[in-house]
Each structure stands twice: as structure tokens, then as C-alpha cells.
Structure 1
Amino acid sequence: MPDEVPHRSDQPLTGDDPKFLILDALDNVAIVRTRIRKLEPVAISGVLVTFADELPLGHKVARKVIAPGEKILKLGVSIGRATTRIELGEHVHTHNVASDYIPTYLLPEDAP
């Protein structure tokens, strides 16, 4: 699993790395379009970040800070809501999002 708060660089950048797909200008997440390797630097919303673990194809990364309860927008529509604060560049997945469409299940060993 990637860092809860990804490493950031002070180096100013513009835009997003081509490894991310932005489907709508309203989206607050970017989709990983090609695997991002562990510690590989990539730009998201002009900020250079790295991840402690590999990010697989199709996963999502926050394009901005997302507050708890805020809608996660992909394709310009809500796909769920943040269950906790999500930092810019953080991996957005079932550990920090409640789906608008399907229940979020925990495996017995992950249940509180």
C-alpha cells in the first residue's frame, strides 16, 4: 500500500505526469494509466510525489486535498465519499473511500 502521506518535493512543477489519466476537469482524482513503481517520482497537480509501494494500473490518486465526507469525483460524477482526510497525491481506494454504489466490505482479519 502506498504511503498514507506521499513524499513531496519542493521542486515546482506544472500539470500531471502522463502516467495519470484525468477524465474530467471536475475530477478530484487521477487514474493510474501505467504502473507506477515504488519510489518513482511522478507529478500530480504540479507536485512531485513518490509512493512507498507500487501503484497498479487503474488505481486512483488524489489531485487535491479531499476532506472527510467530500465526494470523490471521477468522470465528473461522484463514485463515493472520503472516509478520512486524503492528501494531495495520496492513493484513493477502499481504505479511505465509501462507495456510492456497492458496500465496502472488510475481510474478517481486517475488521475492527
Structure 2
Amino acid sequence: MSKKFNALILNQNDNVAVALRSIKEGESLFIQGVVENVEVMQKIPYGHKIATRFIPKGGKIMKYGECMGIATEDIQPGYHVHVFNVRGLKEEERISTNREVQLP
């Protein structure tokens, strides 16, 4: 029996996954090639991001192996990562942040 994946990680350095369908609170994330068990803590709409590990306030949101934004609050694994807890990068951050990617 094959397992159906409900989320996708696009790069090994990512700290978020993308929901391949709406995921209900209490479900586990099933991501191809990832063995860690992350419980979804709130409903995640299709196409939205989910934290796969702890992201501290001020930490980088990593998607596609690139910094896509900065956490405006601590984000625990399994929580929705969206405009209410992430800010976009300023121009100078966009240039400097993606030159050398270091995870928090």
C-alpha cells in the first residue's frame, strides 16, 4: 500500500512545507523523503505553508532553499506560516539574505 503525501518540501534547507490539499488540525504531515513526524496544529489551506520545525521570532522562513520572509513571532512546528506571522524582506535584506543562507 502506498502512502499519500499531503505536503511537499521543495528544498532540503526549507523549514516550511507546502500543503498539497487542505489539512485538518490533528493530522500528521506526510512528506516524501521526510521521516520526522509533525502534527498539524491548526487547519492549513491548500497551497499554504506549514512550519516543519521551530522558527524563532526574527528567524528566516525558508522555501525553495531561499529566505522568503522573517517570522514576526515564534512559530511552532505544525502551525500555519502566512502573512499574520511573517513579514516580507526589505530590499537590502533580499540581497544580503539570499547570498548566504544560514538557518537559525
Q: TM-score, normalised by structure 2?
A: 0.69
Task: Output aligned runs, 1:29-108, within 5 Å.
Answer: 29-43=16-30, 46-52=36-42, 54-100=43-89
Using a 3 Å threshold, how does the CA distance of structure 1 residues 87 and 51 change in structure 2: closer, same or farther?
Answer: closer
Q: Which residue type is aligned with residue 33 of structure 1?
A: L
Q: Is the 8 A contact 2:44 2:50 kept in 1?
A: no
Cα shift readout 1:48-89 (whole Å, capped 9, x = no counterpart): 41444x321110011110011111010000110000110011
**Alpha carbons 1:43, 1:49 under 8 Å: kept:** no
Report runs of 4+ in structure 1 exceeding 4 Å deviation: none
Considering only aligned residues, what root-mean-square deviation do their CA atoms show, in Å?
2.1
Higher strand share: 1
Q: Which residue of 2 aligns with 1:107?
A: none
What SS class does the counterpart of residue 61 from structure 1 fall into?
A: strand
Q: Any unmatched runs of 5+ in structure 2?
A: 91-104
Residues 51 and 66 (structure 1 numbering): CA distance in 2 closer, same or farther, change over 3 Å?
Answer: closer
List gaps (5 residues or longer) in structure 1: 1-16, 102-112
